[in-house]
Amino acid sequence: MKNHKPDAQLLWKQLEEDLVPRLGLRLPERVVYAHLLRHSRLAGKRQLRFSISWLARSVRLSDATTRHAVRSLAAKGALRLVDRTMAGHLAEVFLPDEIHAAPREGIVPSCLARRPGRTDLEEMDFLQVSSRREAIHARERGLCFYCLRRFVTRGRVLDHVVPLARRGSNSYRNLVSCCVECNSQKGETAAEDFLRSIYRLRRLTSAELEARLRALEALAAGQLRPILAPPAVVISKQKKSQRPRMWP
């Protein structure tokens, strides 16, 4: 069954007047999204397979800028990274009215309505709260996200995959646990470029590099969700006059 082709004029109006301000899309993100939209939904397809190099040439951006834009669009819900192989990325591209990552003011889709007593993981700041920082560390299981080296508790830090200087956030999609050495060396370098640099230094094998690049895509797509510990239960102290019963 073929997908219905949307009205191009209406689509571009929604993109410029609604989606760009709603998601805060920067120019590279707008260009990349529009190009992917043109070759997917406007062509009657929900999904599109592409390589970063092809996309970069098509939109006249650098590979690093294009790759960052794709990751950012995935994090903002404009597309979903379905698969990543040697042949490239397979992405599902969403129309402006299908993107609910940042609903219009006053409109909350029923599927995203917050249930009583629950907090939306996507809205959490994972840097400012200690229990959430621990959840990120626990997700990596004691290994540096970049070089895969195992480290002790004192040798670990949290790193912004997309640096704050490049409008990165404190979302679980943008924070990883890593060793102090990688955190210091990476700086504001794009994560993919940093991984390739430590691969050239033989700190990663080719298989590990490929796995780390896939992990970056999964992180941006929200597939590496940390597990938050339940809130601690506070037990009131017993009165001094009350002695606990001794069981045999």
By C-alpha distance, which of 132, 107, 109, 130 is closest to 119? 132
Residue 67 falls inside a structural domain: yes
pLDDT of res. 120: 73
Q: Residue 127 gets which letter from DSSP?
A: S
38 and 123 belong to one structural domain: no
What CA–CA distance (Å, rounded) separates 120 from 114? Answer: 7
pLDDT of res. 230: 64
Token pair for residue 191?
Answer: 């994560």
The CATH number of whichever domain residue 164 belongs to comes to 1.10.30.50
Contacts of 100 by beta carbon, 8 Å cutoff, 6+ apart: 77, 109, 111, 112
pLDDT over 70 (residue 241): no
pLDDT of res. 231: 54
pLDDT of res. 145: 96
Token pair for residue 55?
Answer: 């996309």
Contacts of 114 by beta carbon, 8 Å cutoff, 6+ apart: 120
CB 36 within 8 A of CB 91: yes
Q: Residue 81 gets which letter from DSSP?
A: E
pLDDT in tens, 106-162: 333 333 344 444 457 888 889 888 899 999 999 999 999 999 999 776 778 999 998
Residue 235 falls inside a structural domain: no
CB 41 within 8 A of CB 3: yes
What percent of the chain has pLDDT above 70?
Answer: 82
What CA–CA distance (Å, rounded) separates 209 from 46? Answer: 29
CA terminus-to-terminus distance, the chain: 71
Q: Which domain holds residue 197?
A: 119-220
The CATH number of whichever domain residue 56 belongs to comes to 1.10.10.10
Residue 138 falls inside a structural domain: yes
pLDDT of res. 212: 94
pTM (2 d.p.): 0.53
Residue 234 falls inside a structural domain: no
What CA–CA distance (Å, rounded) separates 64 from 101? Answer: 24
Provide the domain count of the chain: 2
